[in-house]
Chains A and B, each alone.
Chain A
Amino acid sequence: MPRYIFKRLLMMIPVLIGVSFVIFSMLYFTPGNPAVQILGEGASPEAIEELSNEMGLNDPFFIRYFTYLKGIVLHGSLGTSYSTNRAVMTEILSRFPTTLKLAALSIVIATLIGVLCGIVAAVKQYSVFDNVATAVSLIGASMPNFWQGLMMILLFSVYLGWLPASGFDRPVCWIMPALTIGTSTAASIMRMTRSSMLEVIRQDYIRTARAKGQKEKVVVFHHALKNAIIPVLTTIGLSFGHMMGGAVLTESIFGIPGLGNLIVGAIKARDYPLVQGGVLFIAFAFGFVNLFVDILYAYCDPRIKSQYSTHKRRKTKGEVAQAT
């Protein structure tokens, strides 16, 4: 297993170099000069030219790109933000805990609702609960996050006055953003759990377990869920990965100082190093979450664990004799 993890981490390096190249190229061709952005529209051409030279903006594309890469590899530096003049890594790390907290809360809500409703819907297929849950999950999957957030503000903040409409400094502020992201993600988790459970629940070994007189709870949670969990874990992992960088709109609606908001602000301000660093960081986090999910597969399914194992089992004398 450690060898597999190391191999996967190594495989992330070319992907991250590729991501940095793609984002760097896109921003290179973006119209507008960051020097003008920093000095303001009224700055003299000489001042703009001087600052451009100082920042290396007049250097050829590949020289700029390799200087950027060199900074990351040799010094672990993602550059300096044009707008705040602070290190990009410092900016990112100051915002990341908020994004991580929001993503973690949302995924807990999504998993609890999605997995439980999915299991009940599958076990009681075609019942009233199944039909209602399926319809609600379809509506939930169709609802744009940002609109759901606005509707929650309208209901819980404007009309009922129960919850604050913005901020993320107190636990009470976490409820609405986490519910907004969590409930919409719960819809896809529920659909995946239901279809995965339905596939498993018709298998012969489930019938055998029931025939042996096992309690229904044991059959569902011990026999069925364990075998149906892999696609569900994939959905949860992907959703969590997307939440790291994709909660841009929710962060914007609730005024949360997270990573998504930081990147969108940086795009609008043409703060290239901050955008590059932010996207690279999210791609790394995304890859890391995927790796974590892959490792989790092994703990949930011994068949997958055996594939990771590099040490082959020594054959017994009987097996050797049988083979020959």
Chain B
Amino acid sequence: MKMQKTNRKASQFGRILSRLCQNKAAVFGMVILLVLLFCSIFAGVIAPYDYAAQDLASRFQGPSLSHFFGTDNLGRDIFSRVIYGARISLIVGLSSVCLAAFLGIILGALSGYYGNVCDNIIMRAMDILLAIPNLLLAISIAATLGNGIGNLILAIGIGSAPGYARIVRASILSLKDQEFIEATRSVGGNDFQIIFHHILPNCLAPIIVQMTLGVATAILSTASLSFIGLGIAPPTPEWGSMLSAGRQFIRDAWYVVTFPGLAIMITIFGLNMFGDGLRDALDPKLKN
């Protein structure tokens, strides 16, 4: 029985993977993400210089074979800093999305499953958070908590949680009155089992898609917050703070702001392509 269940899960996963691999754009996005992952894991090996090593004698050198992306105002190698920046962006992006999904799933599940007063309290609180533009909410939270990676993850994670809560609530509302839930309840299943073993696995698809696209938004928010000085403080190489530090030298050194921005754009492009492909693979009905 257990083997049958495993086989069924494996075949379902295989079908999704096969649909995903047939989508060229999604594969392209996946390749970008794998390259990014590789860069962030092996940043120490790939980067030719230490990201914080200053060499004032070679400041503002244009792109060349010794410095692929040139050097900044302190003579630091921009290529090395962009490679290390991938690590920071991925850490913040993935962690904040996991935090947002965790909070959103718990709140959405409680709201959708128990309904009535619980639903009203949680969803009105979510409405309040949604009434503040996302970036402004993240800015306010980041200002309260202060600089640092941990605080940045909290700021972006809390700011994005209402979106997940809404998705989970909607999925639970459509599932909780179905017959298989009635059956579980009639054989003595408690609320925890029903929510986490029966309902949530059935509404994973929209959550996974939202998480993939959410990483892109989180990376963009990280860069935005760092750009206005509320994210990761220098000398840690974060793409947004690199852009912010380099903008005053834009007239003399175009490469200081061009390459970190390109890195952000390519990453978000890859995540969006992969997210769209994953959505089509998980729910082919949505595909146009």
Interface residues of A (CB under 8 A from B): 14-16, 18-19, 21-23, 26-27, 29-31, 138-139, 141-144, 146-147, 150-151, 153-154, 158, 195, 198-199, 241-242, 244-246, 248-249, 252-253, 260, 263-264, 267-268, 275, 279, 282-283, 286-287
Contact = CB atoms under 8 A, between A and B. Distances in A.
B239 to A, nearest CB: 9
Interface stretch (B77-85, B172-180, B261-269): B261-269
Contact of B146 (A14, A31, A264): A31
* Most A CB within 10 A of own CB, among B143, B250, B261: B143
Contact of A245 (B125, B133, B273): B133
Main secondary structure of the interface of A (DSSP, over half): helix
A130 to B, nearest CB: 11
B160 to A, nearest CB: 14
A242 B133 contact: yes
Interface stretch (B1-9, B41-49, B224-232): B224-232
Contact of A146 (B136, B143, B224, B230): B224
Contacts of A15: 124, 127-128, 131
B11 interface: no
Nearest to A194: B288
Contacts of B133: 241-242, 244-246, 282, 286
Contacts of B131: 15-16, 18-19, 283, 286-287
Interface of B: 124-125, 127-129, 131-136, 139-141, 143-144, 146, 216, 220, 223-224, 227-230, 240, 243, 247, 250-251, 254, 257-258, 261, 264-266, 268-269, 272-273, 288
* Most A CB within 10 A of own CB, among B124, B139, B240: B139
Nearest to B251: A158
A58 B223 CA distance: 36
A268 B247 CA distance: 20
A142 B265 CA distance: 5
Contact of B250 (A22, A158, A248, A286): A158
A248 B142 CA distance: 15
Contact of B227 (A21, A29, A143, A146): A146
B228 A282 contact: no
B265 A283 contact: no
B80 to A, nearest CB: 20
B146 A147 contact: no
B39 to A, nearest CB: 18
A195 B288 contact: yes
A246 B140 contact: no
Given A139-B269, A282-B132, A144 B224 contact: yes
Contacts of A279: 132, 136, 140
Contacts of B229: 268
A142 B272 contact: yes
Contacts of A283: 131-132
A26 B140 CA distance: 8
30 contacts: A15-B127, A15-B128, A18-B125, A19-B132, A26-B140, A26-B144, A29-B144, A142-B266, A142-B268, A142-B272, A144-B224, A144-B261, A146-B227, A146-B240, A147-B261, A150-B250, A151-B257, A153-B250, A154-B250, A242-B134, A245-B132, A248-B135, A248-B136, A249-B135, A263-B136, A279-B132, A282-B133, A283-B132, A286-B131, A286-B133
B135 A246 contact: yes
A158 B247 CA distance: 12
B228 A248 contact: yes
